[in-house]
Amino acid sequence: MPERKPIAISLGDPAGIGPEIVARALADRPNVSLLVFGDEGVLARAAKAAGVPTPATGRIRAVTSLRSDEVTPGQPNDASGRAQLAYLTAATDAALAGDVSALVTAPISKAWIGRAGFEFPGHTEYLASRAGVREFAMMLAGPTLRVTVATTHIPLRDVPRLLTADGIASTIWLTAEALARRFGIAAPRIAVAGLNPHAGEAGRFGDEEERVVKPAIEKARARIGASGFPATISGPLVPDSVFRQAAHGEFDAVVALYHDQGLIPLKLLHFDDGVNLTLGLPFVRTSPDHGTAYDIAGSGRARAQSFLAAFDLATCI
């Protein structure tokens, strides 16, 4: 067997908890081949705050050399905004070139990276654009619940207008493919949540289930059937019950129709060990399911469980 290429880590916002959780992860996985696209000084200072060994220089691809007076933990600025974009760009270049086996991204600040010229809602859309893929989706995975969302970072008022049968069908397809190809589930069972209370109650509380969701499920069933692998698609199901059903083992994943519908139950169960997995890319990309946490950055209190879960998932799928 050829030796596996290293896993790339983009350091995220150097003013957030990214450097600390990356330093902890490196200490906890000393024998795993990895390459951090970041900053040696930032990582060394974060390791000191966390009370773990300073990462070896051979595990770091230096993209910036920020002085301690340029970026302070918990105090983002334009320098930290430019740095996090530089780390992500370099790590993505390596993934697209095939120089690494997977990409794990530490948290960015959407506000501050936006000031550096980042024009995307988040990592997912940026990576899809860089990879040139049109079909992609965000899956959140924990030990007992997996959720894929049909829409991501959009205002709640826009969700009904932006939901389409083709878009939901694509999300279902990507979920089925990931369960079969990445998670090794031979016959995936996927639930699709309704949009409205009681999944519309036969049109009494909304017609999106009949008008959009059911046609999407039929489109997805046809595509999956033509692909040659078995999968069961159920729905649209009552949103206030379907996540409990999945967590108790009735389904392998739930397709939620908007961001908070899916992420609230996922984070309730898996706040510390939930993983963000981008579906549809030509390479594996995972990330922890949390943000920059400026309020505790530099304090040594950041927990690395979610990042380690993301890192470990990237090593095995």
Task: For domain 134-280, give the fold.
Answer: Isopropylmalate Dehydrogenase (3.40.718)
CA distance 80 to 13: 6
Task: Output the pLDDT for position 95.
Answer: 98
Which pLDDT band, with edges at 50, 70 and 90, does 317 fall under? confident
* Residue 1 scores a pLDDT above 70: no
User: What CATH number does domain 1-133+281-317 carry, 3.40.718.10, 3.40.50.300, 3.40.50.150, 3.50.50.60?
Assistant: 3.40.718.10
Which pLDDT band, with edges at 50, 70 and 90, does 10 fall under? very high
Its pTM stands at: 0.91
Residue tagged 């639930």 (tokens): 191
Task: Output the pLDDT for position 2.
Answer: 56
Kindly report which listed range (108-112, 262-266, 287-291) carries the lowest average pLDDT score. Answer: 287-291
Note the pLDDT tens digit of each residue in 52-71. 999 999 999 999 999 999 99
Note the pLDDT tens digit of each residue in 234-272. 999 999 999 999 999 999 999 999 999 999 999 999 988
Task: Output the pLDDT for position 289.
Answer: 81
30: preceding bond cis by omega (within 30 degrees): no
* Residue 36 scores a pLDDT above 80: yes
Which residue spans of the chain are classified as CATH 3.40.718.10? 1-133+281-317, 134-280
Task: Output the pLDDT for position 161.
Answer: 95
Pairing of strands 284-288, 275-279: antiparallel
Note the pLDDT tens digit of each residue in 76-104. 999 999 999 999 999 999 999 999 999 99
* Residue 3 scores a pLDDT above 90: no
CA distance 78 to 202: 51
Cβ(200)–Cβ(206) under 8 Å? yes
Residue tagged 């609230």 (tokens): 264
Residue tagged 């501050």 (tokens): 112
